[in-house]
Amino acid sequence: MRRRAFLNVFPALGVLFTGSSAASRQAAPYRGKGLFLTTWRFGLEANEVAWNSLQGGGGLLDAIELGIRHCELDPRERSVGLGGRPDRDGVVTLDACIMDHLGNAGSVCGLENIATPISVARAVMEKTPHVMLVGAGARQFALEQGFVAEDLLVEDSRREWQEWLKDADYKPVANIENHDTIGMIGIDAEGRLGGGCSTSGMAFKMHGRVGDSPIIGAGLYVDGAVGACTATGHGEEVIRTVGAFRVVQGMSQGLSPQAACQAAVEAVAEFFRRRGRDWSETQIGFIALNRRGQTGAYALRPGFNYAIRDADRALLLDAKRLLD
Binding stretches for ligand SD4 (CB under 6 A): 79, 178-181, 199, 201-202, 211-213, 232-235
Largest CA distance in the chain: 74
Q: Write the DSSP assignment of 209-227 as a string of letters.
A: ---STTSBTTTEEEETTTE
Instruction: For residue 215, give the nearest of 293, 105, 59, 85 by alpha carbon.
Output: 105
- What is the C-alpha separation between 25 and 2, in angstroms, rounded? 24
* Least CB distance to ligand SD4 at residue 286 (A): 11
* Least CB distance to ligand SD4 at residue 28 (A): 32
Residue placing its CB nearer to ligand SD4 in the complex, 54 or 265: 265
Packed helices 117-127 and 60-72: angle between N→C axes, nearest 10 degrees: 150
Please say whether the beta carbons of 288 and 229 come within 8 A. yes
Residue placing its CB nearer to ligand SD4 in the complex, 24 or 178: 178
How many residues are listed for the chain in this entry? 324
Report the catalytic residues: 181
Residue placing its CB nearer to ligand SD4 in the complex, 63 or 202: 202
- What is the C-alpha separation between 224 and 16, in angstroms, rounded? 21
First to last CA, the chain: 54
Please say whether the beta carbons of 232 and 40 come within 8 A. yes
* Least CB distance to ligand SD4 at residue 105 (A): 17
* Least CB distance to ligand SD4 at residue 199 (A): 5
* Least CB distance to ligand SD4 at residue 214 (A): 9
- What is the C-alpha separation between 108 and 102, in angstroms, rounded? 19
Residue placing its CB nearer to ligand SD4 in the complex, 39 or 256: 39
Residue placing its CB nearer to ligand SD4 in the complex, 16 or 176: 176
Give exposure, 54-75, as e/b (b: 16+ Cβ within 10 Å): beeebebbbbbbbbbbbbbebb
Instruction: For residue 35, give the nearest of 190, 142, 146 by alpha carbon.
Output: 190
